[in-house]
Amino acid sequence: MFLKKNFVVAISALLFFSVPHGLFSAAMNSRVRLVPKNIAERIFVTPEETLPELVAFLVSGSADVSSKTKVMHDWICDNIAYDTDVFTEEGAGSQDYETVLKKRRAVCVGYANLFAAMCYYAKIEQKIIPGWSKGAFYPGYLRDESDHAWNAVKMGNKWQLIDITWDAGYVEGRTFIKRYTTQWLSLSPAQFIYSHLPEESRWQLLGEKEIRTGEKFVEEPYLPGLFFEYGLKFGKEEPKYTNKIGGIFSFDLLNSKGGVMTMCKLRKKDGGIVDDSVWYENIGGGKRLFVDVPDGGEYRIALAARSDGKPMNPPYFSRAEFESGVLPAARALLSKKKITAAELEKFESSYVLVEDNGRYYYADDPLDTVRINAVTKILKALERNTSNYENVATLSVRADETYGGYGDAPRFPQMFRGYDRTSLFRVSPLAGKVKRGTRQSFSVESKSFTKIAFVLGGNDFVFFGKNPKTGAFTLDFDIPQDCPDNLEVYASKDGKQFEAIISYSVY
């Protein structure tokens, strides 16, 4: 009845259509913590005889398949951890649902098998889907054998694809970090295919013209559920998973939702940021991004997003930062009577040390509102940013055989926070470096400002003129020999208060 094959998750006549996006609530169903004691105590000891009782309790009162699916999905996310023994010589072992419940751990096929068993007792038609995925350990090509498994659930005459493994949390090093989401619960087939390729093409649930071959799947970018939750999409020219470039690489990132801010960084393979290697211009409905690489190495374009007014605590701190800075400062709040001992205890227990990379990760519990409030209160008191960005896409980029990269100089001007808050549309030149003793033509197109100027030191303003035809601010400027190392552009909305928006490096 259930698959026995051990898959290694890459951590996150039928009618083939999907249920509408957004059908499921993003909040965890509180019923998963209300399981009667006599069931809760036996489910991990005698699962075969207790699972029918558990399922009956969870789905009682649920009127439709979607609500039953959601509560079973949530119970698994809340009670089963990813089995990091898969990274050892012994491996994760058997993945039948009975073993999964006794161990309270699973790899992807174990999650899928458990959900399949729960669907059986809930009288819900489902299918376990083996295939390939673009998770944390995706090598950039398809392995000879499929490496992942997920589920499809029949809802009326439609099917919904679900990946409970990825919704339960993620792996850092050899440590599972519990983090509940519904990213992989309500994606459409057209969205799901950017991360999951089933062995049988019919389970893509796509029209004939949209079916992906293995080659096409490898070529396309990896887009997690958050990419679509934030209302993002690429322009006509979609970037690939791996992009070889012969100079500046550009693409459009569009957004259909209001109040969403996006950010792009170029990162080295070790995660370090390459400064001044990314530029963007505002376009209708989004941004046009420009990226370049300094040399022939492989780099990652990291795209992130956040919503205005949506507080989100930092997902992790470095060990040194947490132990030497955050934790002592939080304890000092207690001595100043700004927090209670109970709040401090909640805060301290909310972060888990991962020895492999020396970071403390936030341990998610979406139903513990007391802990969530305590952590948020303390981080705000410590003036730690609670409006963090979430990763929504990662692209690989490197120079092609004809291009060696832009070198050591900054590729683009430095952007300040003021630039991000404006409706700047075009800046020239885009070079990050300008030379003393030369004449340069500068141009800034914006609808946000009334005045733009260079500030050479103190109150020495050199103002741009405004072109009456185009509306662009322009200046032909002789860069003096005694120009500071940074030539900063300031802008004003009211003609009185000025704010730095960009800076050129001067040599």
Q: What's 300's domain CATH number?
A: 2.60.40.10
**185 part of a folded domain:** yes
> For position 364, what pLDDT does the model report?
85
Examine the fold and report which residue of 362, 378, 409 is the final residue of a domain before the chain moves on.
Answer: 409
- Closest listed residue to residue 472, CA positions, set 428, 414, 504: 428
Residue 339 maps to a domain: yes
Q: Which CATH number characterizes residue 48's domain? A: 3.10.620
In a domain, 24, yes or no: no
Angstrom CA distances, 336 to 325, 340, 381, 477, stand at 17, 10, 12, 55
d(C-alpha 31, C-alpha 60), whole Å: 10
Residues 6 or more apart whose Cβ sits within 8 Å of residue 377: 339, 343
Q: What is the residue whose two structure tokens read 């919503």?
A: 307
CB atoms within 10 A of CB 466: 15
Encoded tokens for 356: 């492999």
Omega prior to 410 cis, within 30 of 0: no
In this structure, the strands spanning 390-399 and 424-428 are unpaired
Query: Are 45 and 170 in a shared domain?
Result: yes
Residue 245 and residue 130 in one domain: no
CB 153 within 8 A of CB 125: yes
* Domain identity same for 359 and 475: no
444 shares its domain with 455: yes
Q: Are residues 209 and 228 in the same domain?
A: no
CB 188 within 8 A of CB 204: no
Helix (H, G, I), strand (E, B) or coil at 47: helix
For residue 362, what are the domain limits? 316-386
Residues 75 and 214 in one domain: yes
Q: Express each pLDDT in 62-105 by its tens digit.
A: 989 999 999 999 999 999 999 998 887 777 789 999 999 999 99
Number of structural domains, the chain? 4
Helices (H), 104-249: 108-121, 164-168, 189-192, 214-219, 225-229
Residue 145 lies in a domain: yes
CA count, 13 A, side-chain hemisphere, 333 = 24
What are the structure tokens assigned to 460, written together? 């020495």
pLDDT by residue for the chain (507 residues), tens only, comes to 344 334 444 444 333 344 444 567 889 999 999 999 999 999 999 999 999 999 999 999 898 999 999 999 999 999 999 999 888 777 778 999 999 999 999 999 999 999 999 999 999 999 999 999 998 788 999 999 999 999 999 999 999 999 999 999 999 888 899 999 999 999 999 999 999 999 999 999 999 999 999 999 999 999 999 999 999 999 999 999 999 999 999 999 999 888 888 999 999 988 899 999 999 998 888 999 999 999 999 999 999 998 876 667 788 999 999 999 999 999 999 999 999 999 999 999 999 999 988 999 998 899 999 999 999 999 999 988 766 888 999 899 999 999 999 999 899 999 988 787 676 678 999 999 999 999 999 999 988 899 999 998 777 899 999 988 888 999 999 999 999 999 999 999 998 899 999 999 999
Reduced to 3 DSSP states, what percent helix, strand and coil does the chain have, rounded to the nearest 5?
A: 25, 30, 45
Residue 467 lies in a domain: yes
Q: Are residues 268 and 363 in the same domain?
A: no
Q: Are 129 and 16 in contact (CB under 8 A)?
A: no
Query: Is there a single domain that holds both residue 106 and residue 237?
Result: no
Question: What's the CA gap between 74 and 113, in Å, rounded?
Answer: 15
Q: Are residues 374 and 439 in the same domain?
A: no
Residue positions counted in the chain: 507
How far is 75 from 114, CA to CA, in rounded Å? Answer: 11
CATH number for the domain that contains residue 454: 2.60.40.1930
Q: What residues contact residue 159 under an 8 Å CB cut-off, 6+ apart?
A: 14, 15, 16, 17, 18, 127, 152, 153, 205
**96 with 183, same domain?**
yes
CB 168 within 8 A of CB 76: yes
Judgement on whether residues 98 and 80 belong to the same structural domain of the protein: yes
In a domain, 107, yes or no: yes
Last residue in a domain, options 374, 409, 444: 409
Question: Where among 160, 188, 220 does a domain terminate?
Answer: 220
Task: Specify the residue for token string 């998610």.
Answer: 364
Query: Which backbone phi and psi does 164 adopt, to 5 degrees?
Result: -75, -30
Helix axes 341-348, 327-335, angle to 10 degrees: 170
The reply to whether 2 falls in a domain is no
| Shared domain check, 232 and 200 | no
pTM of the model: 0.86
Rounded Cα distance between 145 and 413, Å, is 46
